[in-house]
Amino acid sequence: MREDISDITAITKDARYAGVLYFIVALIAPISLKYVPQRLYVRENATATADNIRSSDSLFRIGITSELLHEVLWVFVVLALYKLFRRVNEDRARQMLIVGALLPVPLVLMNVLNEIVAMILVSGANFLTVFDGHQLDALALLFIRLHGQGLNVASFFWGLWLFPFGALVIRSGFIPKVLGPLLTLAGAGYVTSSLTTLLLPQYEHTVDTIAGFLEFGELPIIFWLLIWGARIPKPEVSIPEHASR
């Protein structure tokens, strides 16, 4: 009985730890992925984008820092989830670890270099005087767009990892099964959006609108892990036949 209680306590502790890290990443990531681009980037307008970066240099640097920070933390999120779910299925948990962290994280970290190059191009450094201002602005926008395409490739993996994650949730027994299909739908949203941007860019806006709703399916598992951790169903107590007479 003591061993059973110890196992339940360990599962709950691991689940809450994963939930705390997951929640922190969910708070930090939108800074670089949503807020900074919406404030600074002007689609197809290199001069306006470059002017925004120059006038909001601190905000741009905060975005870069946010991206580096949430990717480093993400490694620990996936490791925590691997530790939690390897009890359920070691192979699926390993798939989740590889697709969720080992593949996309190095890609995103290297992709940050595109933003750093863009920042240098608009900095007015003396060694760049061989280019005129319009050329520098255009090059800066090019690297910003390269960064965006790098995130699009990474989002393909952000979707793929949710499939083994969802399967593990369904089989776990200590997290509500309904959260598993929600993760699968969220994964489908990420993957579909990424592939549409690459293959059928003319439908990107329409598909992104639908995929955005599906991606919200990732949120419930964050709050479940953070608040409840894990709930182990109590074993049914069998009543001896003679006791009911």
How far apart (Å, rounded) are the C-alpha atoms in residues 217 and 15?
18
Identify the weakest region by mean pLDDT among 81-85, 188-192, 233-237.
233-237
pLDDT at residue 234, as a whole number: 56
Q: How far is CA 170 from CA 53, 88, 183, in A?
A: 45, 10, 10
Burial of residue 188, with CB atoms counted within 10 A of its CB: 0-12 exposed, 13-18 middle, 19 or more buried: middle
Among left, alpha and beta (phi > 0; psi -120 to 50; other), residue 77 is: alpha
How far apart (Å, rounded) are the C-alpha atoms in residues 52 and 42?
9
How far apart (Å, rounded) are the C-alpha atoms in residues 242 and 44?
81
What average pLDDT does the segment 77-103 reach?
Answer: 96
How far apart (Å, rounded) are the C-alpha atoms in residues 128 and 121?
7
The chain-wide mean pLDDT, for the chain, equals 91
Asked whether residue 30 carries a pLDDT value surpassing 70, the answer given is yes
Q: What is the pLDDT of residues 12-29, one digit of tens each?
A: 899 999 999 999 999 999
Cβ(63)–Cβ(36) below 8 Å: yes
Residue 240 has φ and ψ, to the nearest 5°, of -55, 145
pLDDT at residue 235, as a whole number: 52
Asked whether residue 239 carries a pLDDT value surpassing 70, the answer given is no
How far apart (Å, rounded) are the C-alpha atoms in residues 55 and 49?
10
Q: Which two tokens stand for residue 160?
A: 């793929």
Neighbour-count burial for 61-72, b at 16+ CB within 10 Å, e otherwise: eebbebbebbbe
How far apart (Å, rounded) are the C-alpha atoms in residues 12 and 139?
50
Domain spans, the chain? 2-231
Helices marked H in the chain: 2-30, 36-40, 46-55, 57-85, 90-97, 104-121, 133-160, 162-172, 179-199, 204-215, 219-227
Proportion of the chain above pLDDT 90, given as a percent: 85
Q: Which two tokens stand for residue 27?
A: 């708070």
How far apart (Å, rounded) are the C-alpha atoms in residues 204 and 211?
10
How far apart (Å, rounded) are the C-alpha atoms in residues 144 and 76?
28
Asked whether residue 114 carries a pLDDT value surpassing 90, the answer given is yes
Asked whether residue 223 carries a pLDDT value surpassing 90, the answer given is yes
